[in-house]
């Protein structure tokens, strides 16, 4: 009786990887995959001739990276820190709310969890999850601190609403918070100017680099802002 054929782990070429990712990430390209490899986020094996060979774990690793970029707007440096911790068998610290991982990036459950994290919230859901009152949400909308598309709000609106609920308890109303919106617009303009040389190029690799540079610059701006404010606060105790 013939023995059943034993098959090793499935090996994929870059086209097959793109086919697996296309439903969830339709703008994904081969150049973006190579860019992520260049940044050390995946490390496919190579044949003696130099051709890349992707395993299923590489595909799941890509899902993890792309979902965190898309849903959480995290810079690649932060995502790589998570991956490095997972590779060491550790549990990453400071993951975004609602995201948890096991020490393996190989499960369909993880991919589904991350892909499902981006949500479109109704006004009622936004009020329920943020604890905001109807008047507070109306004020946030009128002052441009949150917005919606066809009556649906995103995770950013939820974060803003939650913060404003807490600030309201300290006597700060949306009308007091307009300088934050103006500062955000100025910061975005600064980031936009810096990455303009890359965004002017239409190839996928340049677009990926532009998005990553924008995230990194934004994180640095936030760190600078936090440090400057903390410096002022520390002087209150002096």
Beta bridge partners of 46: 52
Q: Which of 6-20, 66-80, 210-224 comes out lowest in average pLDDT?
A: 6-20
For the whole model, what pTM was predicted? 0.54
Per the structure block, which two tokens stand in for 129? Answer: 């999850």
Upper half-sphere CA count for residue 189 (Cβ side, 13 Å): 6
How is the chain split among helix, strand and coil, in percent rounded to 5? 60, 5, 35
Confidence class of residue 167 from pLDDT cuts 50, 70 and 90? Answer: very high
- Closest residue by Cα to residue 73 from 189, 168, 177, 214: 214
User: Rounded mean pLDDT of the chain?
Assistant: 81
Under 8 Å between Cβ of 143 and 175: yes
**Whole-angstrom distance, CA of residue 88 vs CA of residue 92:** 10
* Model confidence at 86: pLDDT above 70: yes
SS3 label, residue 218: helix
């Amino acid at each position: 009786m013939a023995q059943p054929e034993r098959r090793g782990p499935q090996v994929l070429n870059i086209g097959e990887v793109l086919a697996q990712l296309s439903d969830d990430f339709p703008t994904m390209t081969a150049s973006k995959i190579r860019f992520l490899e260049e940044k050390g986020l995946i490390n496919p094996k190579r044949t003696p001739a130099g051709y890349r060979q992707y395993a299923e774990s590489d595909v799941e690793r890509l899902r993890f990276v792309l979902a965190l970029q898309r849903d959480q707007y995290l810079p690649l440096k932060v995502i790589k820190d998570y991956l490095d911790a997972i590779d060491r068998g550790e549990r990453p610290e400071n993951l975004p709310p609602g995201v948890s991982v096991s020490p393996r990036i190989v499960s369909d459950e993880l991919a589904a969890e991350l892909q499902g994290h981006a949500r479109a919230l109704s006004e009622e859901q936004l009020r329920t999850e943020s604890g905001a009152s109807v008047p507070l949400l109306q004020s946030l909308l009128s002052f441009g601190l949150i917005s919606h598309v066809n009556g649906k709000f995103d995770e950013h609106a939820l974060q803003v609403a939650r913060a404003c609920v807490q600030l309201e308890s300290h006597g700060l109303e949306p009308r007091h918070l307009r300088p934050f919106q103006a500062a955000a617009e100025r910061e975005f303009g600064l980031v936009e100017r810096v990455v303009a040389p890359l965004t002017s190029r239409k190839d996928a690799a340049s677009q990926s680099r532009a998005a990553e540079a924008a995230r990194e610059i934004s994180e640095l701006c936030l760190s600078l802002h936090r440090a400057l404010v903390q410096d002022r606060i520390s002087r209150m105790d002096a």
